[in-house]
Amino acid sequence: MGILSILLWTPAAGVLLLALTPGQHTQLIRYIANLFTTIALLLVCWLLSIYNAHDADLQFTEYLPLNPKLGSAYALGIDGLSMPMLILATLLTSITLLASFTVSSSVKGYHICLLLLEFGMLGVFLAQDWALFYIFWEVTLIPLFFLIGRWGGRRRHTASLNFVLYTMGGSIFMLISLLAVSQYDFEHSGSLMSSMHQAAQDMPRVEQVLVLLGFLIGFGVKMPIFPLHGWLPLAHVEAPSPVSILLSGILLKMGAYGLIRAVVMLPEAALLLQPLLVFLGVFGMLYGGLLAWRQSDLKAMVAYSSLSHMGMVLLGIATLNEAGITGAVLQMSAHGLIAGALFLLVGLLYERTHSRNIQDYSSLIRVMPRFTLLMTLTLLAAMGLPGSIGFIAELHTLIGGFSVFSSVGMGLALMAFFSAGILIGAAYAVRTISLLFTGPVKPPMQQLEDLKATELLAAGILVTGIVLFGLLPAPLLDLSAATISQMNGRISQRIL
């Protein structure tokens, strides 16, 4: 068994062990769950230490035919696109479990669902077989349905049903697109990603566009992009705060990850649909930012800000050049850290006050200075302040977009809309900082407890990553540079 299989099946082994553990032993259950997520995180760290960032090809590959007639296989591998997502997935899962010590009902079921969710997420980023990818994609729906529906807020049942129906509806379009490509690949029956790249070249141009539209709907629901975002605000608001960390930090990135793979596979169709992709990306940035600006619920504000940031990811993908795709991948990592930190801190504040209404707070700096520091740094990073990872990602996206659209007279318009999106992001970030941390201390807030040691550790790790990669982005850029360059070469070869 290779290292990727050990990593993949570590959470599944934790699920099996938890299933055999008596439910009344809550401390043992928490210990087992944290142990297996920590093992997965350490395995990814080891993987990172031996990963060759200068090699653009798949590394640590594993291949086992499952059904030769259909061409399906147990195929795993990683490259510069999946490696950052693996780090993010295991890190945020560990932080989610650290933030879950307040969960007191059905502790066993809750931790089983979290480990099963990690298993599905790792499978999506490790799979190098589209059939396997699709299976893991669907696996993530099951634990999320229960995590939101069982441990969520007052409207949890509506939120969980909304999420599943939206995602399953999108998955149907994705499955149809996969089947459409597979009929052109007789050697591998459309299972291997590499073989599907070759199969896509034989497709008529119109069919390529239809297939990419199917992928856009399937992956766009999960990102989400406008107007496929209907499930997002309700799911984020009603989900338990620790689950929101994974929902926003990782699950949205699965959609962006899949869309990048699809665009590289069908670059000619992506070029034809480029105006649509740019419009959806820019509109999502502005629309999500404006909705975040007018929210009084802190979780709803972070949820709509996610829509804005994922619009920026879509814009980076739509540029079809190296700088833009680099910006998209960086923004995926940046948003994972920023959204994870925001949902963690908002959840910790809610545990103390049982209120998410921003109007109920003021001058928290006097009673919660550690919370104030971390929250302020995260909000500044969300608006793309220089010195944060958000700025590096936005800069690459802007450079990629301007280099493409300046030649067709759209460069200034794109910069204007992009700048407007950044200003709107700054507006809701500054508004939140002002309402939370300035003004007189309200009587109910005078006795609030600041962050504890474990809470400070969890939030501090994320904020440190936000600042560190903002000041020293080279390691993160180098991790994906070779793979993105190879992807850009494939795209350029087909569309030039």
Helix (H) or strand (E) holding 60, with range, is strand 59-67
Cis geometry, peptide bond prior to residue 227 (ω within 30 degrees of 0): yes
Mean pLDDT of 231-250: 86
Pairing of strands 59-67, 72-78: antiparallel
Which one of 119-123, 186-190, 295-299, 366-370 scores highest in mean pLDDT?
119-123
pLDDT of residue 90: 94
> Chain-wide mean pLDDT for the chain?
85
Which one of 112-116, 168-172, 305-309 scores highest in mean pLDDT?
112-116
User: What DSSP assignment string belongs to 320-347?
Assistant: -SHHHHHHHHHHHHHHHHHHHHHHHHHH
Bigger pLDDT: 483 vs 72: 483
CA 13/CA 342 separation, integer angstroms: 31
| Residue pLDDT, tens place only, 31-49 | 999 999 999 999 999 999 9
pLDDT of residue 446: 75
Is residue 355 classed as helix, strand or coil in its secondary structure? coil
Q: Could you identify the residue written with the tokens 């940046």? A: 334
pLDDT of residue 359: 85
Is the model's pLDDT at 192 over the cut of 80? no
Asked if residue 471 lies in contact with residue 387, where contact means CB atoms within 8 angstroms, the answer is yes
Bigger pLDDT: 420 vs 31: 31
Q: Could you tell me the pTM of the whole model?
A: 0.91
| Residue pLDDT, tens place only, 268-323 | 888 888 888 988 988 888 988 888 888 888 888 888 888 888 888 999 998 888 88
Give me the helix-helix angle, 156-182 and 141-151, nearest 10°: 170
Neighbours of 479 (CB within 10 A): 20
Query: Which amino acid is it at 457?
Result: L
Phi-psi region of 409 (alpha: psi -120 to 50; beta: other; left: phi over 0): left
Which residue blocks in 383-451 are alpha helix, DSSP H? 389-405, 411-437
When computed from its CA atoms, the radius of gyration of the chain, rounded to whole angstroms, is 22
CA 30/CA 185 separation, integer angstroms: 47
What are the Cα distances from residue 236, in Å, to 25, 86, 137, 245, 251?
30, 22, 19, 9, 12
Least trusted range by pLDDT, from 45-59, 116-130, 337-351, 416-430:
416-430
CA 172/CA 189 separation, integer angstroms: 19
pLDDT of residue 33: 92
What are the Cα distances from residue 443, in Å, to 117, 191, 349, 352, 487?
41, 62, 16, 14, 57
* Residue 68 pLDDT level (bands cut at 50, 70, 90): low
pLDDT of residue 197: 63
The count of C-alpha atoms lying within 13 angstroms of the C-alpha of 51, restricted to the half-sphere facing its C-beta, is 30
Is the model's pLDDT at 186 over the cut of 50? no
Which token pair is 361? 């707070």
Is the model's pLDDT at 238 over the cut of 90? no
Asked if residue 339 lies in contact with residue 378, where contact means CB atoms within 8 angstroms, the answer is no
Give me the helix-helix angle, 107-126 and 252-265, nearest 10°: 20
* Residue 195 pLDDT level (bands cut at 50, 70, 90): low
Asked if residue 222 lies in contact with residue 170, where contact means CB atoms within 8 angstroms, the answer is yes
Least trusted range by pLDDT, from 62-76, 111-125, 164-178, 338-352:
62-76
Phi, then psi, of 297 in degrees rounded to 5: -85, 125
Least trusted range by pLDDT, from 14-28, 353-367, 374-388:
353-367
In 3D space, the residue among 374, 354, 343, 313 whose CA is nearest the CA of residue 246 turns out to be 343
Is the model's pLDDT at 116 over the cut of 90? yes
Residues linked to residue 65 through DSSP beta bridges, in sequence order = 73
Contacts of 447 (CB under 8 A, 6+ apart): 367
* Residue 191 pLDDT level (bands cut at 50, 70, 90): very low
